[in-house]
Amino acid sequence: MSRSVHILTHEFHPTTGGIGTYVEETAAAAAEAGLEVRVWAPGLDEGGYDPFPYQVNRVRMRGKQDWLCRFRMASALKKAFPEGRIPGTLLLAEPGPIRLWMYASFLGLPRSDRLMVIFHGSELLALSRHRRRRVRLRQLLLGTDCIGCVSGPVRKMALNLGPDISSRVALVPGAVRSAWTNLPAIPRENQPEPGILHVGRIHPRKGQLELVEAAGRLPDTWRQSVRIRLVGPVGHPRYLDQIQQRAAELSVRLSLEGRLPEAKLAEAYRTAAMLVLPSQPYRNSVEGLGLSLLEAQHFGCPVVGTRIGGIPEAMEEGKSGLIVSPSDPVALANAIKQLLEDPPSASTMGMNGSRFVRETFSWRKNIQRLGLA
At 138-183, the pLDDT tens digits run 999 999 999 999 999 999 999 999 888 999 999 999 999 999 999 9
Residue 276: DSSP 8-state: E
What is the DSSP secondary-structure string of 26-70?
HHHHHHHTT-EEEEEEE-SSTT----SSSEEEEESS---SSHHHH
CA 31/CA 4 separation, integer angstroms? 10
Residue 364: predicted pLDDT: 97
CA 358/CA 250 separation, integer angstroms? 38
Q: Would you write out the chain's pLDDT as a tens digit for each of its 373 residues?
A: 579 999 999 999 887 789 999 999 999 999 999 999 999 999 865 556 678 999 999 999 988 989 999 999 999 999 999 999 999 999 999 999 999 999 999 999 999 999 999 999 999 999 988 899 999 999 999 999 999 999 999 999 999 998 889 999 999 999 999 999 999 998 887 665 779 999 999 999 999 999 999 999 999 989 989 999 999 999 889 999 999 999 999 999 999 999 999 999 999 999 999 999 999 999 888 999 999 999 999 999 999 999 999 999 999 999 999 999 999 999 999 999 999 999 999 999 999 999 999 999 999 999 999 999 8
Instruction: Write the pLDDT tens digit of every residue in 251-288.
Output: 999 999 999 999 999 999 999 999 999 999 998 889 99
Strand positions, DSSP E, the chain: 4-8, 36-42, 55-59, 85-92, 111-119, 146-149, 169-171, 195-199, 227-231, 253-258, 274-277, 303-306, 321-324
CA 371/CA 27 separation, integer angstroms? 14
Q: What percent of the chain has pLDDT over 90?
A: 88
CA 369/CA 373 separation, integer angstroms? 8
CA 221/CA 201 separation, integer angstroms? 29
Residue 163: predicted pLDDT: 84
3-state SS assignment for residue 230: strand
Residues 6+ apart with CB under 8 A from 259: 16, 231, 232, 233
Cβ pair 121, 95 in contact under 8 A: no
- Nearest-10 Cα torsion for 233, 236, 238, 241: -30
